[in-house]
């Protein structure tokens, strides 16, 4: 492919990807599969790497992120981002309506919209292209977060140029959908990290991450609700929303034009009833006078527009009894208090437990045994105790004290300076820490020893077969065969027997052997160093190259790595200074795990696949596509995005696109599985 052909193909792919993004994220009407879409993006990225002169700053490839932003410069808003006055009562809404009627002395309309619970942003477009994205800040100036904004698929990077409006600014709300929020908090829990209290905080934190690739994985979304500029082709807010949709922006369909305050109340009632079924958070309804001329006539106070108001919903809460406070111990030793409650229905679901987060939160609430407590769902998702009805407190109730010793092993708890959580330091013998570390080590994104899931690790620990991650590599057939455990389903009460038979044992031992080929960055993550997540482990592995360089690094040297802060640096130093951790690491080395970026699995050479071209397609079980790509490249091979006569092998996973297989068969290109690829690597050696 020559340069001119590449330019045309890049333009064609960019147009197709932008159109499919619009159909998927704005119209919710996709016309191709996720796999087919991913293939288009992969081809575009590949071409842009080969022909960087055609890489556009607003190419759809930029949505995957990867740029690092050290600072978010302050930018003054061209149009101030004003707040709205809030009310929680319909009486105050009536009063607002009376002020509008008196000031206008003519007929008027309202537009009612959802009040999204996220992060307000302003997006500037010039000649149809996104120029910058800025947070609200203090309303006068905010932080420029353009690189991170580009990772949000529903925000158009390029529009058809709008001749009559060469430059304009849209206002919107970036939010985190409930599904993304639950996935994010689950991942943070698995890593032993503090979870986000609600989707709004998660969205705000995500937008200020320095690594835009990490922002892309947070799956943020954005609704646009306003536009500002010169000579706009409409004279009222309702028409502006319709025009924004035509221009390609994601605008909520949950809006209404109302001719009086009674219609406004009906809209509020309907939205409040549906609120619990929305896939994102709202905390009220925004009411605006529709006509721009009338808005100007009504004007502004020193803080708020007189033509708009925000009606905020009261958070749904329930009153119930505190039965007990129990304590959970995570894999890092963090101890979390959890309130056990009499069942109470809130926002359509039954709540029996609520996190109390830490000792400070418990003391702030002033909890006593047998207290009657008010419970809300934080962000309508996570149950939390928000208050105590002291008038219902029994006379003999005693304060709830945070435990001083680990509830699992009895060891005295520690609380480091600047930390909110208490930790059990008995990492080597505390049962939930042992099990948590092992389960983290074998997890899919770590060592991927999936045959040991479903309660098998608990059985091995209880039977004394393993007590740390290094013990896994000493397991033999005789250690496993015949082990049994009865498992009871807590929902149904039904029991079943988990048995280690020949097939089970064979699968476990095969998976353990296969884990010796896992790359260094995932091995580092699998070690379970406190505060060390997957992304940071990758950065450290690539920065230091091998485990010895990392272990020798002091705190100051660690702080020189992008995004490494005091907490992470101190945790890494402490982990590798611990004699028990170093002993386990030595055993893992002897077992054959990879502790260097330069190592390739079972190979002293990096040329075993030299001259071979591969195409990877589909979903794989043992490794991700990125990992397979890296393995091929480590062995000297080359990975292409599309099948051609120059392709040596098509590596096929599940749900592979039929067109690639057809083309491979037509060209006589061998189609191999993941297992066959790994066997081929080993057989070449």
What SS3 state is found at 276?
helix
- Residue 141 — left, alpha, or beta (φ > 0 → left; ψ -120 to 50 → alpha)? beta
Catalytic residue ranges: 115
In which element (H, E) is residue 11 found?
helix 3-21
In which element (H, E) is residue 303 found?
none
Query: H helices of 515-565, where?
Result: 520-526, 534-544, 547-552, 555-558
**Long-range contacts (CB closer than 8 Å, 24 or more residues apart) made by 349-352:** 351/318, 351/320, 351/375, 351/377, 351/383
Measured in degrees and rounded to the nearest 5, phi and psi for residue 326 equal: -110, 170
Supply 85's token pair: 């006055």
Measured in degrees and rounded to the nearest 5, phi and psi for residue 324 equal: -165, 165
CA distance 611 to 605: 14
Please tell me what DSSP assigns to residue 32: S
In DSSP terms, which residues pair with 376 in a beta bridge? 317, 384
Place of tokens 């849209």: 170
Which of 459, 461, 485, 462 has the alpha carbon at shortest distance from 471?
461
Q: What is the CA radius of gyration of the chain?
A: 29
Q: What is the DSSP string of 452-497?
A: GTTTHHHHHHHTTS-SSGGGGGG--HHHHTT-EEEEE-TTT--EEE
Burial 551-569 (b: 16+ CB within 10 A, else e): bebeeebbeebeebeeebb
**Sheet strands (E) in 136-253:** 141-143, 167-175, 221-229
Which of 600, 446, 470, 630 has the alpha carbon at shortest distance from 534?
446
Q: Collect all residues with Cβ–Cβ distance below 8 Å to 300 and sequence separation of at least 6.
A: 82, 306
In DSSP terms, which residues pair with 327 in a beta bridge? 337
Report the 10 Å Cβ neighbour count for 223: 19
Are 268 and 85 in contact by the 8 Å Cβ rule? The answer is: no
Please tell me what DSSP assigns to residue 63: G
Q: Collect all residues with Cβ–Cβ distance below 8 Å to 437 and sequence separation of at least 6.
A: 331, 427, 468, 469, 528
Which of 336, 462, 453 has the alpha carbon at shortest distance from 403?
336
SS3 content of the chain, % helix, strand, coil (to 5): 40, 25, 35
Are 247 and 201 in contact by the 8 Å Cβ rule? The answer is: no
């Amino acid at each position: 492919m020559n340069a001119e052909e590449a330019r045309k193909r890049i333009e064609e792919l960019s147009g197709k990807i932008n159109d499919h993004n619009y159909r998927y994220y704005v119209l919710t009407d996709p016309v191709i599969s996720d796999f087919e879409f991913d293939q288009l993006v992969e081809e575009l990225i590949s071409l842009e790497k080969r022909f960087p002169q055609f890489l556009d700053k607003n190419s759809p490839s930029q949505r995957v992120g990867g740029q690092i932003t050290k600072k978010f410069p302050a930018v003054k808003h061209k149009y101030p981002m004003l707040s709205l006055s809030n009310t929680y009562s319909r009486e105050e809404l009536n009063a607002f309506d009376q002020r509008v009627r008196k000031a206008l002395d003519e007929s008027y309309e309202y537009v009612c919209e959802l009040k999204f619970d996220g992060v307000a942003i302003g997006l500037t477009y010039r000649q149809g292209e996104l120029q910058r994205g800025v947070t609200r800040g203090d309303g006068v100036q905010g932080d420029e977060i353009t690189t991170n904004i580009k990772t949000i698929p529903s925000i158009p990077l390029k529009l058809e140029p709008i001749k009559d409006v060469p430059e304009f600014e849209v206002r919107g709300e970036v939010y985190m959908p409930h599904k993304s929020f639950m996935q994010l908090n689950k991942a943070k829990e698995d890593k032993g990290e503090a979870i986000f209290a609600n989707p709004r905080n998660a969205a705000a934190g995500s937008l200020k991450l320095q690594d835009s690739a990490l922002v892309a994985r947070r799956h943020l979304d954005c609704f646009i609700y306003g536009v500002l500029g010169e000579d706009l082709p409409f004279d009222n807010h309702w028409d502006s929303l319709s025009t924004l949709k035509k221009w390609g922006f994601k605008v909520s369909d949950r809006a209404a034009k109302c001719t009086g305050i009674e219609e406004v109340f009906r809209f509020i009632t309907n939205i409040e009833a549906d609120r619990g079924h929305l896939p994102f958070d709202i905390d009220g309804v925004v009411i605006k006078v529709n006509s721009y001329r009338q808005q100007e006539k009504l004007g502004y106070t020193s803080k708020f527009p007189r033509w708009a108001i925000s009606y905020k919903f009261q958070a749904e809460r329930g009153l119930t009894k505190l039965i007990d406070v129990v304590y959970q111990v995570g894999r890092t030793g963090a101890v979390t208090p959890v309130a056990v409650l009499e069942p109470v229905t809130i926002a359509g679901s039954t709540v029996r437990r609520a996190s109390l987060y830490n000792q400070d939160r418990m003391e702030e609430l002033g909890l006593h045994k047998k207290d009657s407590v008010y419970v809300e769902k934080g962000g309508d998702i996570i149950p939390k105790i928000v208050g105590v009805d002291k008038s219902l407190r029994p006379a003999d109730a005693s304060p709830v004290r945070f435990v001083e010793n680990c509830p699992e092993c009895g060891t005295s708890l520690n609380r480091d300076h600047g930390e909110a959580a208490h930790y059990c330091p008995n990492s080597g013998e505390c049962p939930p820490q042992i099990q948590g570390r092992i389960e983290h080590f074998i997890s899919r994104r770590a060592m991927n020893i999936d045959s040991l899931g479903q309660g098998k690790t608990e059985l091995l620990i209880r039977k004394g077969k393993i007590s740390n991650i290094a013990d896994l590599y000493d397991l033999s057939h005789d250690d496993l065969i015949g082990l049994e455990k009865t498992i009871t389903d807590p929902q149904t009460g039904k029991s079943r027997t988990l048995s280690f038979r020949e097939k089970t044992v064979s699968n476990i031992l095969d998976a353990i052997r296969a884990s010796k080929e896992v790359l260094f960055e995932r091995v580092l993550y699998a070690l379970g160093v406190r505060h060390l997540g997957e992304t940071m482990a990758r950065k450290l592995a690539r920065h230091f190259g091998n485990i010895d360089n990392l272990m020798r690094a002091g705190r100051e040297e660690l702080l020189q790595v992008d995004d490494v802060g005091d907490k992470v640096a101190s945790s890494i130093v402490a982990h590798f200074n611990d004699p028990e951790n170093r002993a386990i690491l030595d055993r893992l080395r002897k077992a054959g795990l990879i502790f260097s970026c330069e190592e390739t699995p079972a190979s002293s050479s990096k040329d075993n696949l030299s001259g071979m071209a591969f195409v990877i397609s589909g979903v794989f079980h043992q490794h991700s596509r990125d990992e397979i790509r890296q393995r091929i490249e480590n062995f000297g091979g080359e990975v292409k995005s599309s099948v051609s006569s120059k392709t040596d092998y098509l590596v096929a996973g599940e749900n592979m696109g039929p067109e690639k297989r057809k083309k491979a068969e037509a060209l006589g290109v061998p189609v191999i599985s993941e297992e066959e690829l790994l066997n081929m690597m080993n057989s070449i050696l």
